[in-house]
Structures are given as C-alpha cells and as structure tokens.
A = this chain, B = another copy of it.
Amino acid sequence: MRARLDCVECIVRQARRTAELCTPDPALRLAIVKETMRRLCADPFDRSPAEHSLAAYAAAAELSGVSDPFRESKAEQNATALAMYPRLRARAAGSPDPLRTAAKLAIAGNVVDLGVGLAFDLNEEIAKVLDGVLAVDHFARFEEELAAARTLLFLCDNCGEIVFDRIFIEAMRARFPELRVFAAVKGAPIINDATLEDAAAVGLAEAAEVVSTGCACIGAPRGAIAPRLAELLDSCDLVIAKGQGNFETAGDPPRPMYFLLKAKCPCVAEELGVRFGDVVFMRRPAPEA
C-alpha cells in the first residue's frame, strides 16, 4: 500500500518515541525528529508507510549512535513468549481443530504486546483472540490451498510473536509432514522485529528453514530484500505474512498471500476494508465466492 498524507505525522511521532528511547538529551531528541522531517521532505513519498518510516529509525540510530534501542524489550518479549510455549502448543494440539487454533494463536501473537503485559493479562488477551471473531476469515480456503502446497514462505514480524508463529508452523507440519516451510526474519535490527538472533533464541529453526530478508527494512519491500527471499516469494506455493509491515510492503505478489494481523492503524484498516482494531486472516487476492 502507498503511504497516505496521515502517515507523515505518524512517522514524526515514531521519530519522537524512538528518540525518547535512544537518549535523555532534549536537544538530541529534537535533532532526531528534525532529521526525520528533513528526510521526509527530500522524498517523493510514494512508497509504503513501512518504507517511509525507516527515516525515523535511521535518523535516531545515526544521530544517537543507538542502533538497537529495542534490544532489551525484544529479549523480554522472546522470554515471555517462550515461557508460554509449552502450554500454548499443548492447547492448540489438544483442541478440536489444532490447525485453526494454532492459526489464531499466531494472530494473537500479533495482537498482544509481549513487552508490557503481565502473564495474567496476556492469557486473557490471548483467550480473547482465540474466542473472538476474525473480521475477515479466509481460513477454510487456506486449509484447502495448504493441502495442495509443497512449499510455504512465512514472513515473520515481531519478537515474542515468532514463538506463536513457531506453534502455527509446527501445526501445519504436523498435519502436512511433506510441507517445506521457510520462515523469514529481518536481516538486522529494526524496531522490535525478529532477526536471526531472535529466531535462534526461540528455536524457530526446529520448525522451519530460517532465512533472512537481508535488510533492516520493516516488512519485505521488493526493492530492498535479498535475492534469496525474492526467489522464495516468487516460487513458494503459499505465502503467509504477519503484521502490518509485511502487508504494507507486499505490493502485487505473483502468488496468493495470507495476511494475519491486527489493524493497528486507521490507514491499514481502511486499506484492508475492516475497522481499526480488527483482526484478520485475509487472502489476497480475495478468494472467489
């Protein structure tokens, strides 16, 4: 999706919040916000929100020298989710429809904020997603396509969330043992997105062949990703994309893609045709009725 005019103010806010994480110095914080605005001014602003918002994170890293301000919070997110892994995995496996439950868990992983939650609240939030309605629910079609697929590319999103993704991938492979799954994580730290290091920390390689996007981008924009990931995007029978960043940068993919996410911003919600805050399991292109 293409960035909208509203995205500018949102990116400036992201710059401010990242600056606040990177430094206590008010002058440096202001300099980071200004540098972000300078970069936005110099840009035709015709790409996805995810791509344009990199201006904020790059400005913060370059001016403050802090290249990974979310490092501690990411480690916490992974640890919190890992602690829940055995119980959640058993819950999916023991449910009447293990694949669907695992799919909804993967969506729950995108919904909950593992950086701030108490265990009690997290469980409640996860239960809400499991018991709740998907605003768009193309799972039945997914199940059919998965049965026919030999290869699947899974575009991961955040730390912590990748533990939930692992459970979903394991459920797919339990059902279809011949399925080959590639799980893509970021090539270098960006916000709280999962990297190879995080994939290793949560044992993602036990469920899938882990690959890197080859860049520190949000999502997987065609112009920036490594050739290997582009190949997988072109050749895998199915692609699952988690979170807003992967949706924003998907473009017009040659293969059917399934987007699993919570619409955390009004612009993405509008683009998806759902309400702000809705959760979806959405196929693009939409399945024929």
Contacts and interface: CB of A to CB of B under 8 A. Distances in A.
Contact of A45 (B12, B16, B20, B30): B30
Q: State which size class the interface on A falls in.
A: 20 to 34
Interface stretch (A35-43, A67-75, A121-129, A172-180): A35-43
A271 B33 CA distance: 22
B34 A5 contact: no
B5 A19 contact: yes
B40 A34 contact: yes
A86 interface: no
Contact of A8 (B6, B12, B45): B12
Copy total for this chain:
2
Contact of A5 (B10, B16, B41, B45): B16
Nearest to A46: B30
A222 interface: no
Contacts of A29: 5
A9 interface: yes
A71 to B, nearest CB: 23
Nearest to A13: B9
A48 to B, nearest CB: 16
12 contacts: A5-B16, A5-B20, A5-B30, A5-B33, A8-B12, A8-B33, A8-B37, A9-B10, A9-B13, A12-B12, A34-B40, A37-B37
